[in-house]
Chain A
């Protein structure tokens, strides 16, 4: 059982907007920033969002993140077939002083 809670699946049609939620507690999301990682089947996870809502260079602005209290969310607008992947949220946890991950959300583009 993962420390951070994500829905196991999400879906949308091309062009649609999809959001993925991530719920934690005061020791992780409540007191530290949230990251999001994208894992296309096969390759390693790739950083998508850091510091709650910052996009690394090269990540399209269709991807956005937000955080409120002990929850966070990832929004993908203008959904494309290439967005089909697993998405993981992560945050530093003050105990055990290490990162914790969500269980992952499998996004299907219909």
Chain B
């Protein structure tokens, strides 16, 4: 079974650092992009960035560039999302998701499946 398992909920204070993880199993982790998606309380989904574990090629959403760091360790099939200095506004649920793809009529078709179960990050003084 293809699955992504994320690290547990975190409660942090403003200014602290944090690194959360997403471990893949049941497939070749190095061969598929992993995306990170934020969901603030009561809000929708926002793409933060995406990484190819095979060579750590990473693209950030302009909204999150410089705010977080995405990395991956293909030897442990794990992707990471980290903050150097958390803010209260970072309070949210964070999901990782595998980008699947298929060639259709000469074009690449992308979708996200599966998703991790989510990691709730609470930042409060």
Contacts and interface: CB of A to CB of B under 8 A. Distances in A.
Nearest to B111: A50
Contact of B111 (A35, A43, A88, A96): A35
Nearest to A91: B110
B116 interface: yes
Interface residues of B, number: 25
Which range contains the number of A residues in contact with the other chain?
A: 20 to 34
Interface string B20-64: 000000000000000100000000111101100000000101100
A35 B112 contact: yes
A74 interface: no
A88 B45 contact: yes
Given A44-B117, A46-B115, A51-B102, A33 B110 contact: yes
Interface in A64-110: 88, 90, 92, 96-104
Residue among B47, B49, B59, B116 with the highest chain A CB neighbour number at 10 A: B47
Given A35-B111, A90-B112, A98-B50, A2 B59 contact: no
Contacts of B45: 37, 45, 88, 90, 101, 104
Interface of A: 2, 32-33, 35, 37, 43-47, 50-51, 56, 88, 90, 92, 96-104
8 contacts: A37-B45, A45-B95, A90-B111, A90-B112, A96-B61, A96-B62, A99-B35, A104-B44
